[in-house]
Amino acid sequence: MSLPAATHLRLEDVRYYYRAIATEHPKGRVIAGDLIVAFMWYWILYHMWYEPEHLFGEFEYPDAAKWTDQELGIPADDE
């Protein structure tokens, strides 16, 4: 079984750089990439600031100073 001719890759179709500096990306792609990254960081920082319960949970943290030795599993001092 042979593959159709359209699936074969010709050497002149491949872009490679051997001992040459790669060309720079088009300015539109660089700007689009920067905008996507800026939006991503905005989204992360905004939601970390205004909705921290997604990271830290939606419950009140217990006050460890109110726990008894029995609740903490500390044996009683028998003297």
CA neighbor of 71 nearest in space, from 79, 62, 60: 62
Considering the entire predicted model, what is its pTM? 0.49
Query: Which percentage of the chain shows pLDDT scores above 90?
Result: 32
- Which residues does 4 contact at the CB level (< 8 Å), separation at least 6? none
Q: Maximum Cα–Cα distance for the chain, whole Å?
A: 91
User: What integer pLDDT is reported at residue 6 of this predicted model?
Assistant: 56
- Provide CB contacts within 8 A for 76, sequence distance 6+: 69
Print pLDDT tens along the chain (79 aa). Answer: 555 555 666 666 666 667 777 778 899 999 999 999 999 999 999 999 999 888 888 888 788 888 888 888 888 887 5
DSSP letter for 15, please. -
Give pLDDT, residue 63.
86
Contact predicate 48/55, CB 8 Å: yes
